[in-house]
Structure 1
Amino acid sequence: MAKSDEELLDFDKMRLADWSAKRAQEALNGENADLYRNHLAIALWIDGWAERLGANDVQDPKYNAGYIKGIREIAAHLRQTDLLPGGALLADLDL
């Protein structure tokens, strides 16, 4: 069953460096709304992945912590609309 927008937006926004509720709502109402919902779903999956990684016993906790931080950064950019067409991280690419 598909998640509602409210469920997709149910995450700790304080962890994001550039969260804008207005920008998110505009993306949900804009021409790339389906893509943004997909990005939110991917970010939700990444959160679960990070939690599972955090629960695993690894030989190098520093590596694991850095890896988790990295994948959470990707989730943050997906949520902040940075990877939508014209988004902050794609603006310099001629896509």
Structure 2
Amino acid sequence: MHHSDAELLDFDTSELDWDEERARNALSGPAAELYRNHLHIAMHLSQWAERETDRTKGSDADERSAGFVHALEEVAAHLRQTDYLPGNGFPGST
């Protein structure tokens, strides 16, 4: 499924280390297609986290799945923040 850049960038940035200029530069730079792929993956991971939250809400599995949901959301955040693009270096890495 194809999504416009506007659709790919339609997410809440309040909890991210978000830099709009960095994202826009990534969309027009040499790794633009890779970044778009990362945004697609992040969209899927966020949807998966939402489904998991809805699936386990109020059940015994709710607390156990919280770590899983958090991990999905963290990976999606790093993908959106351009952290996994060539030359950006994952935070904390050498």
Confirm or deny a common fold (TM above 0.5).
yes
User: Could you say what the CA RMSD is over the residues aligned between the two structures, in angstroms?
Assistant: 1.5
Shift of 1:61: 2.1
Corresponding residue for residue 47 of structure 1: 46
Runs of 5+ unmatched residues, structure 1 = none
| Sequence identity percentage | 48
Query: Who is 2:20 aligned against?
Result: 21
Within a 5 Å distance, the mapping from 1:1-95 to structure 2 comes to 1-16=1-16, 18-57=17-56, 59-89=60-90, 92=94
Q: Provide Cα deviations, 1:55-92, integer angstroms capped at 9, x if missing partner.
A: 11353322211110111000000000000001231863
Q: 2:89 and 2:76 mapped to 1: Cα distance?
A: 14
Give TM-score scaled by structure 2 length: 0.88
Count of matched residue positions in the alignment of Structure 1 and Structure 2: 91
If the length of structure 1 is used for normalisation, what is the TM-score? 0.88
Supply the AA of the counterpart residue of 2:38.
Answer: H
Counterpart contact for 2:53–2:62, Cα < 8 Å: no
5+ unaligned residues in a row in structure 2: which ranges?
Answer: none
